[in-house]
Amino acid sequence: PARAAARAEKFDTAAIQRQDTAHYMHPFTDHQALGGKGVRVMVRGEGIYLWDSEGNKVLDGMSGLWCVNVGYGRTSISQAVYKQMETLPFYNSFFNTTNLPAVQLAAKLAEISPPRFQHVFFTGSGSEGNDTNVRMVRRYWDLLGQPARKVIISRHNAYHGSTMAGASLGGMDGMHAQGGLPIPDIVHIGQPSYLESGRGMTPDEFGVAAAGWLEQKILEVGADKVAAFIGEPVQGAGGVIIPPATYWPEIQRICDKYGILLIADEVICGFGRTGRWFASELFGMRPDLITFAKGVTSGYVPLGGVLVGDRVARVLIEQGGEFNHGFTYSGHPVACAAALENIRIIESEGLVDRVANDTGPYLERRFAELADHPLVGYADSCGFVAGLNLVKAKAAAVHDHELFDPALEVGMVCRGHMFGNGMIMRAVGDRMIIAPPLVMTRAQIDEMVALIRHCLDLTHADIKRRGWV
Ligand code: PMP
């Protein structure tokens, strides 16, 4: 009934926009610019589609914000949430107390993750998960009598959240420039972007070379001062940067060589996005800690956390005493109930396997075809995350393509055509990226690829008119 009512409801978009401008401070938003344009109001979702307040239907190529893995409108999740709210909407896990959904979810996560993960620390978000990591790895080394091991190595252009530690771990210059970041003892190395830095090498050669930057940094900092290395298996917000196959095994070898903990930030990559429950499994990583959020509940309610591997869990539990860390909403019963139902859906519909063996390879093939478009210099994907690069003129080798002047913001022009024509595709510079809901069918992949191609044509015509090509 709620959904039928929403379908019939009429909205006064201009009034909502005025109210929004007057009161709502949005994340990562220039409000002066937004106020001039007027915000888009999303009112409803069903499967892979959204509807805005003007009645426009949109294909959501970004799963909300990389999170709505099972698609919109899943009644069984709303029912699980309702039932939990009716029985026990909240209780904390602090004072020798637990709640049923939190225990059951912890056990379920231990079951679906690699065997060495038997423990879970719950948070409310991915950022809080990464803050937890910083405190947990430093606590681990303190307990082992190596308190000098404080430094965490991350990568330029990484995204690990917006809290003080999350934004410090991240490698976004624009974020570091605001608020005095990074906090001490967090350093960065280059990202494994073959397009950006792989000239003159094969992808596999470049993967080993880029991993070598970690060893250089460890030696520069001093191995006895390094606590951990953190990375997204596939960088998401940085522009869907898919590393060469040689990269993670070499990173793993280097971490092992110096005894450094490896943290996989799987906030985007987890819960089936790459055709595995966790992308670490796909890339040959053996992380000690895994950050998760987003896909754990498909975004229906906020939940995040850290999967704690045996190496760290044993020290914390057997010799750690109290870990002075935790959130009011650690193990929130309603969020955990949503996660349990979400994971049940992923399992019962075989979504991880579908992305690995059916729709993922199909998307990869169809998406790669876009590289024949005059504007597209490079298109690649990994499971249900993909990106393409807009270029001014194509050459035989990817490193020789002529790029647009970044000041033209061609990616944003393209994004405008996408949004205006019913397709949500995000721009990171001149790279256009997608991360569609895992429920997307082959027919819907065809529909999406055709829509993207149509919008690329519109972009091409537009920038020709502007004299940019
Ligand atoms: N890590 C990664 C890899 C992310 O992509 C994000 C969010 N986009 C975060 C951490 C932060 O998660 P949250 O926004 O839930 O705090």
Q: Give the lowest-confidence range in 38-42, 189-193, 448-452.
A: 38-42
Residue 7 pLDDT exceeds 90: no
Q: How do residues 91-124 score in pLDDT, each as one tens digit?
A: 999 999 999 999 999 999 999 999 999 999 999 9
**Strand ranges of the sheet holding 376-382, from the earlier edge strand across to the other edge:** 376-382, 385-390, 431-434, 426-428
Q: How do residues 116-155 score in pLDDT, each as one tens digit?
A: 999 999 999 999 999 999 999 999 999 999 999 999 999 9
Q: Where are the domains of the chain?
A: 40-70+352-465, 76-348
Share of the chain above pLDDT 90, in %: 97
Tell me the mean pLDDT in the region 190-203: 98
- Is residue 34 very low, low, confident or very high in pLDDT (cuts 50, 70, 90)? confident
Structural class in CATH, domain 76-348: alpha beta
Residue 444, phi-psi category: left (phi > 0), alpha (psi -120 to 50), beta (remainder): alpha
Q: What's residue 2's pLDDT?
A: 82
- Is residue 1 very low, low, confident or very high in pLDDT (cuts 50, 70, 90)? confident
In angstroms, the CA 192 to CA 207 distance is 7
Pocket probe for ligand 1: among 66, 155, 157, 160, the residue whose CB has the most ligand atoms within 8 Å is 160
* CA of 394 relative to ligand 1 center, distance in Å: 34
Closest CA to 266 of 67, 63, 64: 67
Q: φ, ψ for residue 202 (rounded to 5)?
A: -75, 160
Q: What's residue 342's pLDDT?
A: 99
Residue 237 pLDDT exceeds 80: yes
Q: Is the CB of 131 under 6 A from ligand 1?
A: no
The ipTM assigned to this model is 0.99
In this prediction the pTM is 0.98
Pocket probe for ligand 1: among 65, 133, 134, 159, the residue whose CB has the most ligand atoms within 8 Å is 159
* CA of 126 relative to ligand 1 center, distance in Å: 5
Tell me the mean pLDDT in the region 424-429: 98
Q: How do residues 62-85 score in pLDDT, each as one tens digit?
A: 999 999 999 999 999 999 999 999
- Do 40-70+352-465 and 76-348 come out as alike in CATH topology? no
Structure tokens at 204: 């596999």
Q: How do residues 403-414 score in pLDDT, each as one tens digit?
A: 999 999 999 999
Q: φ, ψ for residue 86 (rounded to 5)?
A: -70, -35
- Is residue 180 very low, low, confident or very high in pLDDT (cuts 50, 70, 90)? very high
Q: Is the CB of 213 under 6 A from ligand 1?
A: no
The domain made up of 40-70+352-465 is a member of CATH 3.10.450.50: no
Handedness of CA 243, 244, 245, 251 (dihedral sign): negative
Where do the H-state alpha helices sit in 144-235? 164-169, 173-176, 194-197, 203-221
